Structure 1
Amino acid sequence: MALTTGQHSWWRPLAGTALVLMATAVMTVMLASGTEIAGELANRPLDSEGTATWGDIGDTALALLSIAFAIPAVLLAAHCVQHRPMGTVSSVESRLRWRWLAICLALALPLVLFTVAVQALMPAPAGKSGDLAWAGTPAFLTGLATVWLLVPFQAAAEEYAFRGWLLQAVGAWCRSPWMAITPQALLFATAHGWGTVWGFTDLVVFGVVTGWLTIRTGGLEAAIALHILNNLVSMSIATAFAGAFASDDTAADMDWAAVAIDVPMVLLYATAVLWVTRRRERANGTDVPGGPNTSPPPPTPQTAAASRPTGYMDPAAEA
């Protein structure tokens, strides 16, 4: 059941979505304008579209930063349109639960590393060269610093936009968790562009699984952890090779072999998270990881409707 701590009217999710898009666009335009002015002053070369370029690493940093703007945009919409605490986008505890995030990171790390290692041992896809040249120590260290600084914000921003705002916005209109999960998963895959059917399928699976984990665990931490490590590990490896950042390939361009490795990893991660969640529920006497050690008294319908944010739904509501 979708419950909210703020004011709910049918139009608020629509108005909030418009504000998220508009605020993100405004901040992105401001960033682009600033970099263009700086490029003119620094006499930077122009790319094929006539805009200033800062090299592969610099342009990648700007792209990551522009995506990260979705975080303040989502929080602003929750506060200004729905009149609810910003933290309710993060979890049912109205904050990002850092200990639970650390546990999810620990669960995801070995699975992501194993998946990347297996994919690295596979032959290069047809039409793509397997020859990679060392980027050089200065470029590698600069790229690594850029990735480690910005990728966590970029990955978290996508989770706040899709598994946070969109899932909760649709969840405000319907009782079924799957009605809230499906649209954001499809939009998440679409936002990465159309590459291959396999890549699109992989992104939809990722969106569905992380959407379900968000509802089941009552927050974004499990989705953020997997997304951050997926991007961080792959992009950290890419910094070692010359020209890797210049590629336009994304997860949408995955072939069937890569998907056959990635999807089981995502499902195995979800299984591990749900197993730990159930253990923590039994230990804490609560239905939310990280909650108090004793169960609270049963809420009345009025207090229940004021205790959980929009979109974090009870999986048993359909039963």
Structure 2
Amino acid sequence: MDFTDRTLLRLTDDDERRAVLSPAVGTRILGAAFEFSNIEVGDVTGVTVRDIELLPAALASQRFDGLAREQSGSTQWEFSASLLATNPTSSAHARLELGLTTETRRADTSVERIEIESLSDLADLDQVDARIVTDDGSLPTDLDELDRRRLDELSEMLGERMTVPGDFNAELFLAARDISTLNGLMVALQEPQYTSRVELELVVDGSLPSSIQTHRVVAAAIIEPDPFNRLAELVERVQTGRAVMERSTETASPPGGMRSRVGLPYVVIIPMAALDDSDLPFVAGASPTTADAERASRLDELQRRLTPFGVALATVP
């Protein structure tokens, strides 16, 4: 029996499934599913499989928009629809509904101080022009170039008014407000928008007592016998599978103090021997001296890199 079929069979038995979905794997799954904010989460101490569906079938669909118009007349209709594939497809080897038990400590955050400063005084072209002349010696004679130079200078002046100027990203600020011209920024600074700088001082109390909680996670699982020689294929399977399954699978809501990292985390089950690949990286600064230590270090480093993409690794002998 090959690795894929043998592992699929493991998932049908309670004892063998517990060996595959160990508490250490549960810790990786929880980190792949959620980001933690204002909360301290310990390692998972227990994994409960509440429901498992093997080879879950999902209908792939293609969304399209259309426009219909009367042949004689001006009436027209716009519509959107989804075209379903003829046959459902399986995008994972299993769908898992898990309960992950861990020690959790919430942090109590309060606002100690609020400072609000209007930035409307920056909407002064004489002030902007004076800075340009100081820096460049004169103003550009081309009007379009003058507007671009003024926009750059005004954006820099905005950053200088921040508490930590280096943390201000002018490009993101303008893009978030759909501002691409000098006039657009001038309008944003003046009445009635009155762009302001808001500074908050927060106090975080992390001394609250911890509690044992069980967090619900819904994940997809795929079995990959040769993950690192076919890494591109693996990533493609995860991405396309997630896109299909998220439309037909109820995902878990994030617990308090957490936020979803992805809609549907994926558990990739691989053979332990795959970690013997000498091209795989160790944790930075690690110098493992035994085969087991090398595998553990490679697994930790791989998980660190895959967690932001909503992927958790599980190894089996």
Provide TM-score, normalisation by structure 1: 0.20
Larger gyration radius, structure 1 or structure 2? 2
Query: Which structure has greater helix proportion?
Result: 1
Higher relative contact order (CA 8 A, sep 6+): 1
